[in-house]
Amino acid sequence: MPMILLDNSRAMNNTEIKKYFAVDTASGEHLKEQMRKRVEGFINTHEAGTRLPSGRDMVEALDISRITVRNAMQSFFDSGAIISRGRHGVFIAEKSRSSILKDIHPMAMGGGVSVSKIQTLKLLLYENIPFQKAFWEEIIRRFNKHSQSFRVQIEWLPQTVNQNDFEEYLRNCHVDLFQHAVNHNSEKSAQKLPDELINMINQPEYRHEVFPPEMKPLFKHMLPVHFNLNFIYWNADLAKAVGLNDIRQRIRRNELSALLAEATAKLPDGKTACGHIWDRLAFMGQPANLEDINEEYFIRQLSRIFQYDNAGATYIYRQQYPMEAVENFHAGKQLFLDSIPTHAYVFGNNTNFELSCEPCPLLDGNRQYTAAMGLGISRNSSNYHGGVEFIRFMLSEEAQEFLASAKSCPPVLRGAAGRIPQTSPQLETLLQRYRIYDPYSQSQECLFMNYLTYHTRNILQQLCEKSISLEDAASAMFKNWSAQIDEAVAGF
């Protein structure tokens, strides 16, 4: 078909923009991919020198985000198919001379023509639970499809390398990128990232408010892509069989204690209402200011758990092995499970019952502290620009939305959290009460999360066995916590 040259003396109006670049939000195809195809079609059917509408005009005419427009057009800028002439606008570029010379051997030109090769980027991962592997394989397939210069290849962390050895292993292996919890050790093993990437997290469209000031210097070497969200999972078939109704709404109304008490009374022998009691304590949240931890705080938390007399029959309070609650849940022996998706789906998501979940609510005034997973560029990498390109892609709308839907984790891109399956209308309000901490630090947030999960078990067991009063238990918990803080300060 003949090539078209539009009048470049004026900008396109909204009708013209919609004619050439309209997207269909109901089609199921990602908006970025639709937009990329429209831009590619426009370039292929119009002459060099044709002016494209500005990003701002596209956003207004098509009612899509500027990130979608920017990401859809980036590959065309990178390949030289379109060029920016500053305030004059963006134009279709002249046909590249390399396309004319593509069939001529470089040596025939005296070596004057260089041929760029696609470079391989090795990404070190340890997330090999089936749903995690499926996510990474698909996200890398998408990146490799669009990138013209780099291909990412997964390098799996050996099973023999544990958490304590990870940083040393990373410093001695030859990979380009790695994923890990954002932490203070990254400075030793990761290259400094460019300011334009670091500054992205502070833009309004990203969830920068969940990162306290002390975490933000860590972004120089690792950028967060998502953080963990606590869920309550339940066996919907078992709930129906025992006559438990309206579970989702009751959880949203923060009536979980009453719900668990009712479940305990209705469940047959051999079935437990919930998992480990210390997980329930941790999932209720922590004070917004950890200086407010006192006996009254522990009394308030414990009173909610032990509000009904049958708490000892509701929870597992003697641990036989770490994944006991998860195994019981998947075997149909347990109705509810407090968990993050990583643990809930460790045995796969093909249960023999209907699985439902809801984000775990927090008690009034409480926050929830959690770790953020991030990406860094290894100090051993010689493909720095490729690493930057991949991290930028992981922060894009396409990657962030797919991450939310595939991993059920809140991405750092604010608008993408709505893709989390079975999400709550209260999710946005809930996420505003999450705060990120460094899981490898000696911060109070880190110490307190470890204390609730690992160092309250004996006291909780005594409460379940009714060998200690709630007041004495709260006093003992506060005393033990104060001793841990004093010990940490002395050690520091």
For residue 112, name the pLDDT band (cuts at 50, 70, 90).
Answer: very low
For residue 113, name the pLDDT band (cuts at 50, 70, 90).
Answer: very low
For residue 4, name the pLDDT band (cuts at 50, 70, 90).
Answer: low
Tens digit of pLDDT for each residue in 268-294?
999 999 999 999 999 999 998 888 999
Percent of the chain predicted with pLDDT > 90 = 58
Strand order in the sheet with 286-287: 286-287, 366-370, 434-436
Segments of the chain assigned to CATH 3.40.190.10: 119-228+371-423, 231-355+440-491
- Among 387, 368, 391, which residue's Cα sits nearest to residue 379? 387
Give me the pLDDT at residue 103, please: 55
Q: How far apart are CA 302 and CA 461, in angstroms?
A: 12
For domain 231-355+440-491, give its CATH number from 3.40.50.300, 3.40.190.10, 2.40.30.10, 1.10.260.40. 3.40.190.10
For residue 7, name the pLDDT band (cuts at 50, 70, 90).
Answer: low
Tens digit of pLDDT for each residue in 329-378?
999 999 999 999 988 888 776 788 999 999 999 988 899 999 999 999 99
For residue 6, name the pLDDT band (cuts at 50, 70, 90).
Answer: low
For domain 14-96, give its CATH number from 3.30.2270.10, 1.10.3210.10, 1.10.10.10, 3.30.1060.10. 1.10.10.10
Sign of CA dihedral 245, 247, 252, 256: positive
Q: Which residue has the higher pLDDT, 25 or 278?
A: 278
Q: How far apart are CA 360 and CA 283, in angstroms?
A: 7
- Per DSSP, the three-state class of 386 is helix
Sign of CA dihedral 193, 194, 195, 197: negative
Q: Which residue has the higher pLDDT, 24 or 117?
A: 24
- What value does the mean pLDDT of the chain take? 88
Q: Which of 52-61, 149-158, 238-247 has the lowest mean pLDDT?
A: 52-61
Question: Tokens 């079609």 map to which residue?
Answer: 41
Give me the pLDDT at residue 108, please: 58
For residue 114, name the pLDDT band (cuts at 50, 70, 90).
Answer: very low
Give me the pLDDT at residue 282, please: 94
Tens digit of pLDDT for each residue in 164-199?
899 899 988 999 999 999 998 888 899 999 999 999
Give me the pLDDT at residue 93, please: 86
Q: Which residue has the higher pLDDT, 334 or 77?
A: 334
Helices (H), 348-469: 384-394, 397-407, 427-431, 444-454, 457-464
Q: Is residue 456 a contact partner of residue 477, using CB atoms and an 8 Å limit?
A: yes
Strand order in the sheet with 336-339: 336-339, 231-235, 355-359
Is domain 119-228+371-423 given the CATH code 3.40.190.10 in the classification? yes
For residue 109, name the pLDDT band (cuts at 50, 70, 90).
Answer: very low
Per-residue pLDDT at 9 exceeds 50: yes
Length of the chain: 492
Q: How far apart are CA 307 and CA 106, in angstroms?
A: 79
Q: Is residue 484 a contact partner of residue 451, using CB atoms and an 8 Å limit?
A: yes
Give me the pLDDT at residue 65, please: 87
Tens digit of pLDDT for each residue in 408-455?
999 999 989 989 987 778 888 899 999 998 888 888 888 999 999 999
Residue type, 291: E
Give me the pLDDT at residue 154, please: 96
Average pLDDT, stretch 293-321?
A: 92
